[in-house]
Structure 1
């Protein structure tokens, strides 16, 4: 068959996603953890009868070292305190608090994560403080690539804080990096949906990572869905190329829709090689649209390289277009007199190729009302004509009227995305 349906995916999703996922947690979580730990160190410093005098003396020395930002000395004193036998639950909790704080400030994030993790089930960690602690522990474990720990504590935090899109994304990444793609997709989708509900921007790398996760599961419908969302927000030619390539594989196994897929590629800026444009020109001539063939061939030879085949195609298109334009008014008269709507649809399409979108809309609508050979295809072409007439809202209505099970409906869905930027 032709290149439209056999084009390989232009991007190795997994490689892209792995590159994106490292470094997601930048300095901000650690700063947050530091501030939180410092606050806790001040509030929960060992005091009162629950701390033995001997241990209290060592912890006071640790606190003095913290005040002086002498982290090495502070750690030595905390380690000394940790070695005390028969410590009370509160003493253990207080030591872990100070240990975590010192570890963060010493850039020992693994040590900080371990110390703060040890406080999570303590009776001395208040209910109000626990969500922030769960978040900090999750972030610290992610920072040291202990992703299995992030996926333990992150979901616990998110249970009551589902609107935290950044954390949803971090947990999704942690699952991704453990090759748990179903859970990765779950949390990545949560992140995106949360951002949308909060009317916040959906980051491009979030969408890229979700694309990768769906791809790793061979979930082509899911990948198509996220690519549709991607082109709505970031309408780059590369994303359109991936999306149209995948859609073509799903709906164009017979090659019947080659021309429509080429047209969508051309309209969205998706990748279209010169040879594909030449093939598109041949298909438009076969479809009785020489004016469109002229336009396509002009793009095909834009690089200045023209073959003998190009010359033949260009001459054929020019000759037929000249004759077509000269007789188009007569074609319209004959189409109005025809028993079915197909000639009206075709004449309307011809007007569209010559830049008369208003006339194209008028005739294609009349053809649909009269009954064309393929109503769904006619509605797709009506929608495209309405886009050219800058009537995006009406175009979306035309696309929505296509029979849901028709492959033209899938194409119409993508054309509808094109119209969204028209308003």
Structure 2
């Protein structure tokens, strides 16, 4: 049975949004309960940085492995596998007894969570026309950030009522329910069209059988390296706000856990708005006749101009100003990342998207791991201030890499060299 998916594609988008919400809820649990976990398991800040890096190492490796898996089996099965995997890892975290076991659980979480961000853009590529792709990416990305916004309230309430162990178990079980819903709604009879503005129908999920030849083909293109450099320069920004900003508010600015939970959500809510806003803006530019990839870069350039304002946080202004500046950077970053994610979706055919995202994930993962280690050292010996200065210059430099990704001659399969 053929299915054109003109309405069902928004059901797919909704399911991806739910998965992204859970992705960030599970990712944030440790950061929000760090004090309780560290106290019970006798983990210092250097150990906490090691835990963050165990997640990031797995996230990097998971991006590479999931890129291969998604291109081979298709995003429908891949997405279910990844959500199920990371939900199990999150639930098992509630059973750990020492630092090593906690690190292993975070490593398993990172392996699974990376895959969701590889499979989701490929599903968008297959289901949505160019004028709607950035919006679809923005919608599920915004759900992730709204998940981060709600997490301080949900996780803190669970922590205070049932403890950190049960909190991990509860959040993991919710992901199992998502997998059941995914298979109930996304049945074999609903095969996605590989979306273009004409919306042609095909008979099966596109899979890639080119093996290593396909990886070599992608690695020789200009677009993958411009995308990877831009990702490596800006990805650490979000991980800083995700893993360290709550601790910054409690450790350096003196907020209690309750006040932090009541304030930090503003940053992550702003991130959700930025993801949708960036998608709407570049989609509007596409409908105005601008080439899709160029529309993404134009929208990203607007972020690059405004992002240096975040450096003011290095001056330690009033707490409400610090939170406001954090919200501004979060808004700009997610507008940026929505369009950054859309670039390989626009530049490459569906059978290669997993490879491009995987290469970018490894490249940016190495930089993010290094930056996380440096943050841990700075927090132990100095302050958070240097990171706010680094964040200020990341986007102006990264915009040149993003533009470079869109240049070069066209290949017959739709990639750029």
TM-score interval for Structure 1 and Structure 2 normalised by the shorter chain:
under 0.3
TM-score, normalisation: structure 2: 0.22
Instruction: Look at both structures and tell me which one has the larger radius of gyration over its CA atoms.
Output: 1
Instruction: Name the structure where helix makes up a greater proportion of residues.
Output: 2
Q: Which has the higher contact order (CA 8 A, sep 6+)?
A: 2
